[in-house]
Amino acid sequence: MQENKLKYQRFSYLFEKYLKGICSKQEAKEIVDILENPSYDQLIKSEAYKFWNEFSDVNEKRDSMSKILDKLHHRISLNDEEKLKSQFINKRFIQAIIRAAAVLFIPLMIYSGYLTFKVRDARISKTDQVILQTIKVPAGIQTDFILPDGSHVWLNSCSVFKYPGSFQGELRQVELIGEAYFDITKDPDRPFIVKAGNLNVEVKGTTFDVINYPDDSQIEVILESGQVNLFTGNYKDYDLIALMEPGEKATYNTSRNITSIQNVDVDKYTVWKNGILIFRDDPMNEVTRKLSRRFNVDIELQSLDLKEYVYTATFINESLAQILELLKISAPIKYTIIKPKQLDDNSYSKTKIIITKIK
C-alpha cells in the first residue's frame, strides 16, 4: 500500500509538471517510461481524470469521442515529410502515447494530442520504414475516422486498429482486432486487405463489416456491397477460402479452419455504427456479450439455462437500465447491479450486473 502511494504521488507530481511544460529532460523520460508500462495503467487513468476538469476549453466544448479520436489520429500521423528528430521520441514516445490513449479514454487522448503538438516542429530525414499507427477503442465507446486513401472506417468498442500513415506499394493493408465497418475507396490497381487474425479479407471498393474479437471462437465477415475474397497466407501465395456476394455472412471457425456462408439481414450486423442494436432470435449469452461491450459493464449469467433464452428486439436510444427492464418482461429473470468500487490503486472496478433465473 505504501509503495503504491509513493508511486501515485511521484506520478502526480510529474504529470502536473509535464502538462505545464516545465519538466526536465530526465523527468520527461520518466514520464514516457511510466506511460509505456502496462502495470501503471490504472494509476495513469486515475491521475488523468483528476486533471480533466482543468482543461476548461475541453469542458466547455465537450467534443464527442469520435471527434477527439479523429483529431488525435491526424495530430500523431507521421508522414515522410515530417518525422520526429530522435529515435527515442519517434519510437518510444509516440508508441507510449498511442498505447496510453486506450487506457485514459478521453483525457489523455487530448493530452497526447497536446504533447505531440509540442514536438511536431522537429524533423528527421526520410525513411522507408513503415510505421503502423494504432487506434484503440475502449469498452463503451465507438468512433469513426478516414484513412489516408479516403476510406471510411467505423470502430466498435473494445477494438484495436492498425494502419500505415500512407498506403504505399501494391496493397492497402490494415489489421483489426474487434469489430469494424468499412466503406472502402475504389482503387482497382491496389486491393484493400484487412488482416483479422489468420483470416484476410480482400476488397477493392466495398462496404462490409468484420467481427474479430479474441474471446470469440470465430471470425465473421458481413458483405453489404461489392465483392470480397477471403484467404489465408500471404497475398502473393494465398489459399482462397471463399468468394462472397452482397447479403452474405461468412463465419470462419478459427480452431477448425472451416468457413460457412449464409444469407443474412445485413442491417442486423451493420447498424451498430448508427448507435442501434438489433437482436433476431439471439441467445442470451450473445445479447449480454454485446451489451457488455456497448455499455462497458461486466454481465454474469448465474445459470446455464439462461443461455437457452432467445431474444428479438431493436434498441436505439435505450439506456442499459431500460434494456434490462425489457429483458425482464420477455423472460423470467431478475438482475442485481453491483456498483463500481474504488481499488487499492485509486482506480475503480467496472459496474457488474448479475442475471439470475426466477424459478
Dump pLDDT digits (tens) for 174-217: 999 999 999 999 998 899 999 999 999 999 889 999 999 998 89
pLDDT at 304: 84
* Residues in a beta bridge with 283: 310
Answer for the pair 283, 310: CB distance below 8 angstroms, yes or no.
Answer: yes
Please write the tens of the pLDDT for every residue from 213-222: 998 899 999 9
Identify the burial level of 179 via C-beta atoms within 10 angstroms of its C-beta, where 0-12 means exposed, 13-18 middle and 19 or more buried: buried
**pTM score, two decimals?**
0.66
Q: For the chain, what percent of residues have pLDDT higher than 70?
A: 69
| Backbone φ and ψ of 52, nearest 5° | -55, -45
Answer for the pair 114, 104: CB distance below 8 angstroms, yes or no.
Answer: no
Who contacts 203 (Cβ-Cβ below 8 Å, separation ≥6)? 182, 184, 191, 192, 193, 194, 226, 227, 228, 229
Cell numbers at residue 86, please? 530522435
pLDDT at residue 272 greater than cutoff 60: yes
pLDDT at 277: 92
pLDDT at residue 84 greater than cutoff 50: no
Strands 258-263 and 248-253: antiparallel
Please write the tens of the pLDDT for every residue from 276-311: 999 999 999 999 999 998 998 999 999 888 888 999
Strands 228-234 and 199-203: antiparallel
Candidates 138, 250, 141, 247; CA nearest to 194 is 250
Q: For the chain, what percent of residues have pLDDT higher than 90?
A: 43
> Going from the N-terminus, what domains does the chain have, and what CATH number goes with each?
1-128 (no CATH), 130-270 (2.60.120.1440), 276-357 (3.55.50.30)
Interior angle at CA 261, CA 215 and CA 308, nearest 5: 50
Strand order in the sheet with 298-301: 298-301, 352-357, 333-338
Answer for the pair 219, 254: CB distance below 8 angstroms, yes or no.
Answer: yes
Strands 310-315 and 258-263: unpaired
Answer for the pair 214, 293: CB distance below 8 angstroms, yes or no.
Answer: no
pLDDT at 12: 74
Average pLDDT over residues 73-97: 42
pLDDT at 274: 93
Answer for the pair 269, 303: CB distance below 8 angstroms, yes or no.
Answer: no
